[in-house]
Chains A and B, each alone.
Chain A
Amino acid sequence: MLMDIQQHAREIGLGLDLFSCIQCGKCTGGCPVSLTTALNVRSLVYGALIGDIAGPVHREELWDCTCCFTCVERCPKDVRPAEVIIALRSLLVEEGKVPSTIGNALMGIFRQGNPLGYAREDRTAWMDGLEVQPAQEGCETLLFTCCSSAYDIRAQAATKALVRVLQAAGVDFGHLGTEETCCGNEVRRVGEMGLFEMLVEEGKPLLEEVGAARMVTTSPHCMNTFRHEYKLGMDVLHYTQVLARLLDEGRLNLTGRVEKVVTYHDPCFLGKQNGIFDEPREVLKAIPGVKFVEMDRIRERSLCCEGGGGRMWFEGTNTEGRLAFQRVQEAADTGAEILAVACPFCMAMLDDAVKVKGLSERLKVMDIAELVAMAL
């Protein structure tokens, strides 16, 4: 499979720049899974540069990458190392050599519009008991729920909380209902460029037809692809940005109290990749009663939960040393009772880790929207 990876990367819309690489290792040194798996992105860039990818491309660890983009953020030469992984994955996708669980997720998206493979008609099951205006009738703000936010039981609670908060603040928002389809952020990152293109082609007009001034997403992953890859004709915001603005403008009044010690985990797609560090913290600090504490590894140095880049659907080669295990321990060590998250993937990974590590008595993982709803 000797071929020009850079050429291939450009053809599939990646900005990989192999020739700028000086093999300094800053990418691999910062890669959150480089201590626990065989994945070495620097070495992959080198292999791609000299045309020696036959070996690396068939290694299973290629699927370990979480696409946290720490390597892209840190690279001093603007190489965008993670994109060599996406390019290599896309070659495997073309050959049908995809881990079966990822294949199933892609099939689910193709057939039902969600990676869990649930029925499209059930996408709005979470709305039970709530009155959500159909976006098709026109609205100022389009609420986009991640597939996890719509179908995952734990994440659904956060989605419901967010709807209650937005309604309490009098926000004019609507939802696409069962027409809503997976954004494809992870589809692109596992290298399924054809399916991703299809999702954009069908999704973009659907989203733009609403005529909303802005979109608000429950997940930083959806926000990321809508912002950078769909190029929509509207502002795309993460819900924490909207909540921070509502609080700032005095439209959201929190009269209840949450007497808890709270810490916050930065999602990679929100923080590292989109520079949104302050708004989630502002929201948490505005909740009456909350005592906010920080962990050591935060903001640009935040530790990835390992849920991105297709890892929601792939166990990875490092089942022993999960980063989420480390992360919940670090959160517990701060004395926090609540580990606040702002992403349905982080919720799933960290909530699971709390149970596995036996920390359930001490630490609860909650979405920021849930904490705000508690203070309404």
Chain B
Amino acid sequence: MEPRPRIGVYICHCGTNVAATVDVEAVTEFAATLPGVVVARHYTYMCSEPGQALIREDARALGLNRVVVASCSPRMHEPTFRAASQEGGVNPYQFEMANIREQCSWVHHDRHEATEKAKALVYAAVMKAIRLEPLEEREAPVTPAALVIGGGVAGMMAALDIAEAGFPVYLVEKSDHLGGRVAELNRTFPDLEPVSEWLPALVDQVQRHPNITVYLNSRVTNITGFVGNFEATVEGAKEPLKVGAIVIATGYDVFDPRRKPEFGYGIYPQVVTTLELEHRLAAGDLTVNGKTPKDVVFIKCVGSRDQQLGRPYCSRVCCMISAKQAQLVRQALPDARVTVFYMDVRTFGKRGEEFYDEARRAGVRYRRGNVSEIYRRGDRVVVRVEDTLLGRTIEHEADLVVLAVGMEPRPEAADIAALLKLPRSADGFFLEAHPKLRPVDTAVDGVFLAGCCQSPKDIPDTIAQAKAAAASALIPLMRGVVPMEAATAIVDPELCAGCGMCVEICPYGAPGLDPLWGVSRVNAVLCKGCGACAVTCPSKAIRLQHFTPDQILAQVEALVGW
């Protein structure tokens, strides 16, 4: 039988953040009267070392088995106070927090009412604390190897870093060669360096690395398991590959300008994409219908920043690609007029603006106007556009028109997303776990993103993200174990009807139907304790530990009855 609750309650002033609005002494006096409470104190900063010491020392001296801190949001300091409770011998899951700052002192002015509300919140927390059960945090072992999907620059860089750290890496590439989209480029911005000077060496390094196994002409067809313990079925691999972490680096597709019929792409040989011009520049042949162009036009934002296409985003590289190719065309065809028509010039980033300056100084004309239409006139094409700075529509005759096509998600991204239950943003690119704080993580632990599969980006940004993804993937590999959330859902097999609704609703793939018994079982390593399954379960067979109905209802009753 559980020992009787012995609760310590600590009210934090948070300097004056709480104390200026809430009468902390009154709240403390009130807390002392609550059932099970053996000590109630208030202190200037509970999160400070002396504040934490109060918890530790009381817990030992008074034999506390529950701790309640009334202070800020649990997002802020729950880990701090859980650790302090544990050091005092209290199970960290028998700690409860009342948020009397964000949910009280910061949003109320009336001191009396704020104090009453703080009391209510403390009362609710104590009512829940009485019912909290001790939970145990466990760890799972990690398979010390990684899977990288996609053999472009992002995938290769991530694979190399993980391999260099000493772990085996399986690199899966669907085409027959490594290098991805960059292998199709001639020179790169902003230094006009030939790709041939560094890409073959990088490919070679990957292929020869003793820790990297490359699977070409291969796809990942199935993935099971969870962080630390994935199993991937890969075409060409005899057995499922066991890995602890996965890096997705599946890249992008090039926008097909046939979806903008006004440009006549596919009809006029004079109209090409930036990628096609890249091939022509590499081959040193810019002729159209056997003639050297005298007038070359670049059109930006083709397939980008376009609501009608469902491509509202900026592809981030086309301004720099246009500036690069316009300069290279100027070099190759010194007599040709080269004009870039633009909506905005976005040559941000290191050396970006300078590169744009160089393009203009090289004689490239920038005219502001989003080209509306292309049609034929003799053996040339007419670019119909308003020069918005002149406020005048013009017909600009050209021999070569280059469409700066944007990036879009690969259709196969949907398959990978389905394999891993990975969320994607509205534009179809993979969704990072947090736009600022977790830019290479995904909603699935142990799965990381690198390169343009997450959003359009240039080569330096791609490589930076690849190295970040590798470093993040190395955390579980190097630690050797992964912590398991203790506040997980558990299924009562006696009540479970095996309907599978929990399997469908879970965003993390934690529940699965036991093939033998036909009932649901929750994989504790995958469970994040969100509770979606518990509320979905029609037979109430699922119980979310640490948020059980009696705990929550006790809290609710305390507040409702106030």
Contacts and interface: CB of A to CB of B under 8 A. Distances in A.
Whether both chains belong to one complex is answered with yes
A184 to B, nearest CB: 28
A40 B390 CA distance: 11
Contacts of A40: 386, 391, 393
Interface stretch (B277-285, B300-308, B485-493): B300-308
Given A34-B393, A40-B391, A28 B386 contact: yes
A213 interface: no
A301 interface: yes
Nearest to B369: A25
B261 A299 contact: yes
Interface in A19-34: 20, 22-31, 34
Contacts of B177: none
B388 A296 contact: no
B368 interface: yes
The residue among A26, A78, A296 with the most chain B CB atoms within 10 A of its own CB is A26
B375 A296 contact: yes
Given A28-B386, A76-B306, A297-B375, A43 B391 contact: yes
Contact of B386 (A34, A75, A299, A301): A34
A23 B395 contact: no
Contacts of A30: 262, 372-373, 384
Interface string A24-65: 111111110011000010110000000000000000000000
Determine which residue in B262, B307, B393 has the highest number of CB atoms from chain A within 10 A of its CB, and name it: B393
Contacts of B395: 35
A101 B395 CA distance: 32
A77 interface: yes
B350 to A, nearest CB: 26
Given A24-B343, A75-B308, A296 B376 contact: yes
Given A34-B393, A296-B376, A29 B308 contact: no
B391 to A, nearest CB: 6
Which residue among B375, B387, B395 has the maximum number of chain A CB atoms within 10 Å of its CB? Answer: B375
Given A28-B393, A31-B393, A42 B372 contact: no
Contacts of B384: 29-30, 35
A76 B308 contact: yes
A45 B27 CA distance: 60
Given A77-B307, A78-B308, A29 B391 contact: no
Interface in B413-429: none
Contacts of B371: 26, 29
B155 interface: no
A227 interface: no
Contact of B262 (A35, A43, A300): A300
Contacts of A296: 375-376
B393 A301 contact: no
Contact of A29 (B301, B305, B370, B376): B370
Interface string A286-303: 000000000011011100
Most buried by A among B308, B369, B376, B386: B386
A74 interface: yes
Contacts of B387: 25
A76 B372 contact: no
A25 B391 CA distance: 9
B249 to A, nearest CB: 30
A25 to B, nearest CB: 4
B385 A25 contact: yes
Interface in A54-93: 70, 74-78
A28 B369 CA distance: 10
A20 B393 CA distance: 22
B372 A26 contact: yes
Contacts of B375: 296-297, 301
B264 interface: yes
Nearest to A22: B343
Contacts of B391: 40, 43
Interface string B382-414: 001111100101010000000000000000000
A76 B370 contact: yes
Contact of B301 (A20, A42, A75, A76): A76
A375 B399 CA distance: 43
Interface string B337-379: 0000001100000000000000000000000111111111000
A72 to B, nearest CB: 10
A148 to B, nearest CB: 28
A77 B264 CA distance: 21
A29 B385 contact: yes
Contact of A25 (B262, B305, B370, B374): B370
A24 B393 contact: no
A26 B308 contact: no
Contacts of B306: 76
A25 B385 CA distance: 7
B307 A29 contact: no
Nearest to B381: A296
A238 to B, nearest CB: 20
Residue among A23, A299, A301 with the most chain B CB within 10 A?
Answer: A301
A70 B372 CA distance: 9
B428 to A, nearest CB: 18
A75 B262 CA distance: 12
A23 B387 CA distance: 11
A30 B385 CA distance: 7
A301 B262 contact: yes
Nearest to A277: B261
Nearest to B371: A29
A50 to B, nearest CB: 15
Contacts of A27: 372, 386
A78 B307 contact: yes
A70 B301 CA distance: 19
Contacts of A301: 261-262, 264, 373-375
Given A24-B343, A301-B374, 12 more contacts: A20-B307, A24-B369, A29-B370, A29-B384, A70-B372, A75-B308, A76-B306, A76-B307, A76-B309, A76-B370, A77-B307, A300-B261
Interface of B: 261-262, 264, 301, 305-309, 343-344, 368-376, 384-388, 391, 393, 395
The 8 closest A-B pairs by CB, nearest first: A30-B372, A29-B372, A24-B370, A25-B386, A34-B393, A28-B386, A25-B388, A26-B370
Interface of A: 20, 22-31, 34-35, 40, 42-43, 70, 74-78, 296-297, 299-301
9 contacts: A22-B343, A23-B388, A25-B387, A28-B388, A29-B372, A30-B262, A30-B372, A78-B308, A300-B262
